[in-house]
Amino acid sequence: MHPSLKPSLLPSSGFEPLLSLLQNQLSAVNTCLLQKMESPVALIPEVAGYLISLGGKRLRPLLTIASAELCGYKGERHIHLAACVEFIHTATLLHDDVVDESTLRRGRQTANSLWNNKASVLVGDFLFSRAFELMVADGSLEILDILSKASSAISEGEVLQLSMSHSLELTQETYLKIIESKTARLFSAATEVGAVVAKASDEKRKALAQFGQALGIAFQLTDDILDYTANQGQLGKTIGDDFREGKVTLPLLLAYQKGRETSFWEDMLAKETRDDNDLKKALTLLNESNALIESKQMAEIYVEEALACLTKFPPTSLKSALEELAHFSLHREM
């Protein structure tokens, strides 16, 4: 059975229904991405094209399109705006890989490891500027307002994360602030932009912005859990990356706050590097302390919140697909 034909609301159908409903629009977004990253400077489409061709889930542009169409939008502007959102996302990925010194993304080499940090920084800057150029061409100051504020918030979140790197003084509150800024804010902007382009009511606009926000937090929480639990081949990156980088995420924080073996975590974060044996012990403690399960429970709360936001919309296959996406954010393995 084709995934999109599976009964809705089953977590396992995950991401497919949305993709299946919006495949033409997504294909138009992909064409737009390819066109708009063109430049007489060959290295730009080379690096940008590599990252964009890695594909990923195109989750954020799909959210813009889905939100617009959920609010009855019939035009073409949402395609271009979805491409803007993806350009901003791609720019942050290019810069993140430089900041995190990552070598793998989605199972393939990162741009900074294939070219160099310099190209990643500058091509990221180009994509970011190009996104704003496209938004200006679209002509809505309201949308420019949403996405420029989201962009500031993303870098603010990234800098906050950098400041708190290796620090066990991180609180759950600050951890949430970081993931809200660095991840959920662009999800929320993506859905809100869809509502704005469709001239939706304030109520629907707020509901969709909040849906994006809650979904984004659930996705990032799951990401942080998967960093410790995923099947390496499926996740397409190295297990324990966050731990090796000394990045304190919710699972580590919860395990530490249980008060058992606190000195292990303190020693780990005080060290220059952490090796495979360190990771092994960390995984044991994360499991024994229930930190991974509790992290997942927190993600569930956000999935519930996301689902609640959708009750403002009448039942349609698109709404069901977004509901399944919310479930998928929790149960995904990659």
Spatial contact of 39 and 127, defined as CB atoms under 8 Å apart: no
Give the span between the Cα atoms of 303 and 219, in whole angstroms: 9
> Pick from 16, 69, 158, 223: which binds its own copies (CB under 8 A)?
158
The region of 132-140, 256-264, 274-282, 294-302 touching its own copies under the rule CB under 8 A is: 132-140
Give the 3-state secondary structure of residue 274.
Answer: coil
Q: Return phi, psi of residue 39, to 5°.
A: -160, 145
Q: Does 288 bind its own copies (CB under 8 A)?
A: no
- DSSP-assigned letter for residue 12: G
- Residue 160 carries which side chain, given as an amino acid letter? L
Which of 28, 51, 123, 321: binder of its own copies (CB under 8 A)? 123
Q: Please work out the total of residues on this chain that contact its own copies, with binding judged by CB under 8 A.
A: 42
Residues 23 and 318: their CA atoms lie apart, in Å, by 12
> What single letter denotes the amino acid at residue 333?
E
Q: Is 187 one of the binding residues for its own copies (CB under 8 A)?
A: no
Of positions 104, 121, 298, 307, contacts its own copies by CB under 8 A: 121
* Per-residue contact string for residues 64-103; x = within reach of its own copies by CB under 8 A: ----------------------------x--x--xx----
Residue appearing with tokens 């720019």: 91
Q: Which H/E stretch holds residue 328?
A: helix 317-331
CA dihedral 25, 26, 28, 31 (to 10 degrees): 180
Binding segment (CB under 8 A) for its own copies, from list 128-136, 207-215, 262-270, 325-333: 128-136
Shorter beta-carbon distance to its own copies: residue 159 or 308: 159
Q: Cβ closer to its own copies: 73 or 128?
A: 128
* Contact status: 20 vs its own copies (CB under 8 A): no
Tokens standing for residue 314: 């009448």
List interacting residues with its own copies (CB under 8 A).
Answer: 39-44, 92, 95, 98-99, 117-119, 121-123, 125-126, 128-130, 132-133, 135-137, 139, 141, 144-145, 148-149, 151-152, 154-156, 158-160, 162-163
